[in-house]
């Protein structure tokens, strides 16, 4: 009980009023005068009234000899007396223990030792100030498709995990069991010069084997070793008797056989075809100017050239010229500088040509009209050797007798229609030929008065007279009987 104020007085105080706060353990008394607390020694307090009892937690204070209320962290050791304190502090539980019963107003705290979990248990909830250790049994088996990742320990249960599945590109080396997970390993890739004979699957690695070495077996590689396939080897071909080896069989290609070359007609064989090389052909030599082929080129030998006779440009033998050097002329296989009697010099052919049989000598041609001199029995008339009495009518001297001219000729020097000297009446003459009137060759017209085929004007293909064209060349057009370069104004070309 706490008294706020008291005063020592000779006059006995009287209690004016009081209040008891049971929840606070306080008795408040109000006196009629001031009180001295040190001299206030009550001998006892009795509370009366409906449902009111004396508080058991009141004790007598040593300094005031008043009973006081135990505080919240205290409990009553004994009832309040005039000699001792009646309250004691509530105990705290030491480490390794917990409050099994809390401190009350009449009893101290009750502590109990924290429990220890057994060998097959783990601490589900640790011992705390107000609760004992909570133990739980360890999980003994993880079950199907699971394995023990971590064993049960003091503070944790067994850790179980689902068994792993090996993913794509890996295979299982050890199955999942109670104590460990599935063990996986990456699938192997076949190294160089190896190929796969068994693919990697769920439980087995890739199986590789060495690629076949074709060349070691005298073969060549048609297809390379790759992936899941071995190399494909081919047997090296052997060349036939009419072939040669152009390129040998190698690691990556077959032997290449080519047909032996046959030398052409203008070549000869220098070297025969062999198993390893083709026929060697050489062009036959052509003998140059002044030489001839003394031995012809054959299948196996070249031309043999020899010098031609003197003055020959080309020849066919040691005694027969074919063409001559400049200023020499060929006569009977020989080259002469001057053609003999009975021949004439042909500058085009560079040879000596025979005169007509009626001539003794002639000039520049073989015709009967080109005689220069005649035998004694004939006379020369207009280049023709004729009988001294002449051939009558439409006849000519053929060297031995008079023969009839062509029906187109009036006079002639030979039997042909182009060997006329003059034409029969009504026929048109063009050089040594005679034509019917109106049948002159293209580019000429029949000139009746002169009895000749006369040339049309320039650019005329056909004409009716010297001033009237009927057809023009392709570079000109016909206008009023003349061939002109282009049509005049207001005109156009017709087909």
Q: Are 406 and 398 in contact (CB under 8 A)?
A: no
The pTM score is 0.35
Q: Which of 404, 395, 365, 397 is nearest to 380 (CA)?
A: 397
Q: Are 254 and 234 in contact (CB under 8 A)?
A: yes
Tell me, what's the pLDDT at 178?
A: 87
CA atoms lying within 13 Å on the CB side of residue 44: 3
Q: Which of 181, 178, 200 is nearest to 189 (CA)?
A: 200
> Which residues are paired to 210 by β-bridges?
194
Q: Are 67 and 61 in contact (CB under 8 A)?
A: yes
Whole-angstrom CA distances from 494 to 50, 462, 466, 469 are 159, 18, 24, 16
Classify burial at 350, counting beta carbons within 10 Å of its beta carbon; exposed 0-12, middle 13-18, buried 19 or more: middle
C-alpha–C-alpha distance, residues 214 and 221, integer Å? 6
Residue with tokens 């081919």: 234
Whole-angstrom CA distances from 140 to 121, 124, 160, 427 are 10, 16, 10, 146
Q: What are the pLDDT digits (tens) for 409-427?
A: 888 878 888 888 888 888 8
Q: What's the token pair of residue 107?
A: 């009893």
Q: Are 271 and 296 in contact (CB under 8 A)?
A: no
Q: What is the DSSP letter of 67?
A: B
Instruction: Count CB neighbours of 297 within 10 A.
Output: 19
C-alpha–C-alpha distance, residues 495 and 492, integer Å? 10
Contacts of 54 (CB under 8 A, 6+ apart): 45, 46, 47
Q: Are 231 and 250 in contact (CB under 8 A)?
A: no
Q: Are 315 and 308 in contact (CB under 8 A)?
A: yes
Whole-angstrom CA distances from 280 to 186, 241, 410 are 63, 16, 70
In 284-432, which ranges are E strands? Answer: 291-295, 304-307, 312-315, 321-324, 329-331, 334-336, 343-346, 351-354, 361-362, 371-373, 378-381, 384-387, 395-397, 402-404, 409-412, 420-423, 427-430
Q: What's the token pair of residue 110?
A: 């009750």
Contacts of 302 (CB under 8 A, 6+ apart): 268, 282, 284, 285
C-alpha–C-alpha distance, residues 55 and 33, integer Å? 27
C-alpha–C-alpha distance, residues 285 and 292, integer Å? 11
Tell me, what's the pLDDT at 66?
A: 52
Q: Are 117 and 155 in contact (CB under 8 A)?
A: no
The 10 Å CB-count burial string (b at 16+, else e) for 391-423 is: beebbbbbeeeeeebbebbbbbbbeebebbbeb
Per-residue pLDDT tens digits of the chain, which is 495 residues long = 444 454 455 666 777 777 765 555 556 666 676 655 445 555 555 554 444 444 444 443 444 445 566 777 888 877 665 445 578 889 899 998 999 898 888 888 999 999 999 889 999 999 998 899 999 999 988 888 999 989 999 889 899 999 999 999 999 999 999 889 999 999 999 999 999 999 999 889 999 999 999 888 889 999 999 889 999 999 999 999 999 999 999 888 999 999 999 999 999 999 999 999 999 999 999 988 889 989 999 999 999 999 999 899 999 899 999 999 999 999 999 999 999 999 999 998 999 999 998 899 998 889 888 899 988 888 887 788 877 777 777 888 776 778 888 888 888 878 888 888 888 888 899 988 999 888 899 889 999 888 999 998 888 889 988 888 988 888 888 888 788 887 766 565 665
Instruction: Count CB neighbours of 232 within 10 A.
Output: 13
The 10 Å CB-count burial string (b at 16+, else e) for 425-438 is: eebbbbebbbbeee
C-alpha–C-alpha distance, residues 244 and 256, integer Å? 9
Q: Are 110 and 99 in contact (CB under 8 A)?
A: yes
Tell me, what's the pLDDT at 338?
A: 93
C-alpha–C-alpha distance, residues 40 and 46, integer Å? 16
Q: Are 191 and 227 in contact (CB under 8 A)?
A: no
Q: Are 364 and 356 in contact (CB under 8 A)?
A: no
C-alpha–C-alpha distance, residues 139 and 135, integer Å? 13
């Amino acid at each position: 009980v706490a008294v706020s104020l008291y005063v020592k007085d000779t006059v006995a105080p009287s209690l004016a009023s009081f209040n008891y706060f049971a929840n606070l353990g306080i008795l408040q008394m109000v006196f009629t005068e001031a009180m001295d607390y040190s001299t206030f020694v009550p001998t006892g307090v009795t509370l009366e009234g409906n449902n009111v009892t004396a508080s058991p937690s009141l004790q007598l204070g040593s300094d005031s000899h008043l009973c006081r209320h135990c505080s919240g962290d205290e409990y009553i050791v004994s009832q309040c007396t005039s000699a001792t304190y009646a309250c004691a502090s509530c105990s705290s539980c030491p480490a390794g223990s917990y409050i099994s019963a809390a401190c009350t107003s009449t009893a101290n705290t009750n502590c109990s030792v924290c429990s220890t979990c057994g060998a097959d248990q783990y601490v589900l909830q640790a011992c705390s100030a107000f609760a004992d250790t909570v133990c739980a049994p360890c999980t003994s088996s993880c079950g199907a498709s699971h394995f023990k990742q971590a064993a049960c320990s003091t503070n944790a249960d067994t850790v179980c995990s689902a068994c792993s599945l090996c993913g794509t590109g890996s295979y299982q080396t050890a199955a999942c069991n109670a104590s460990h997970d599935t063990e996986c390993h990456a699938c192997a890739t076949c190294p160089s010069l190896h190929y796969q004979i068994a693919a990697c699957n769920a439980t087995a690695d890739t199986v590789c084997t060495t690629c076949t070495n074709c060349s070691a077996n005298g073969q060549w590689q048609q297809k390379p070793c790759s992936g899941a396939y071995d190399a494909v080897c081919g047997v090296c071909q052997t060349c036939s008797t009419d072939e040669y080896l152009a390129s040998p069989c190698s690691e990556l290609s077959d032997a290449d056989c080519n047909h032996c070359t046959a030398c052409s007609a203008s070549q000869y064989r220098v070297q025969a075809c062999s198993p390893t090389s083709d026929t060697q052909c050489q062009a036959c030599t052509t003998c140059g100017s002044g030489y001839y082929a003394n031995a012809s080129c054959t299948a196996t030998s070249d031309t043999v050239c020899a010098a031609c006779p003197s003055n020959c440009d080309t020849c066919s033998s040691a005694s027969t010229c074919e063409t001559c050097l400049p200023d020499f002329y060929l006569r009977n296989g020989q080259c002469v500088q001057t053609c003999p009697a009975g021949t004439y010099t042909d500058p085009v052919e560079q040879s000596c040509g025979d005169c007509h049989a009626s001539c003794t000598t002639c000039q520049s041609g073989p015709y009967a009209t080109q005689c220069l001199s005649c035998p004694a029995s004939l006379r020369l008339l207009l280049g023709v050797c004729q009988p001294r009495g002449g051939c009558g009518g439409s006849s000519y001297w053929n060297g031995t007798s008079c023969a009839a001219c062509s029906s187109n000729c009036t006079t002639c020097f030979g039997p042909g229609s182009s060997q006329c000297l003059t034409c029969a009446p009504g026929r048109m003459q063009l050089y040594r030929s005679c034509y019917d009137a109106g049948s002159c060759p293209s580019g000429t017209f029949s000139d009746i008065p002169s009895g000749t085929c006369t040339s049309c004007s320039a650019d005329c293909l056909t004409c009716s007279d010297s001033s009237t064209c009927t057809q023009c060349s392709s570079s000109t057009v016909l206008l009023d009987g003349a061939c002109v370069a282009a049509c005049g104004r207001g005109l156009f070309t017709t087909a």
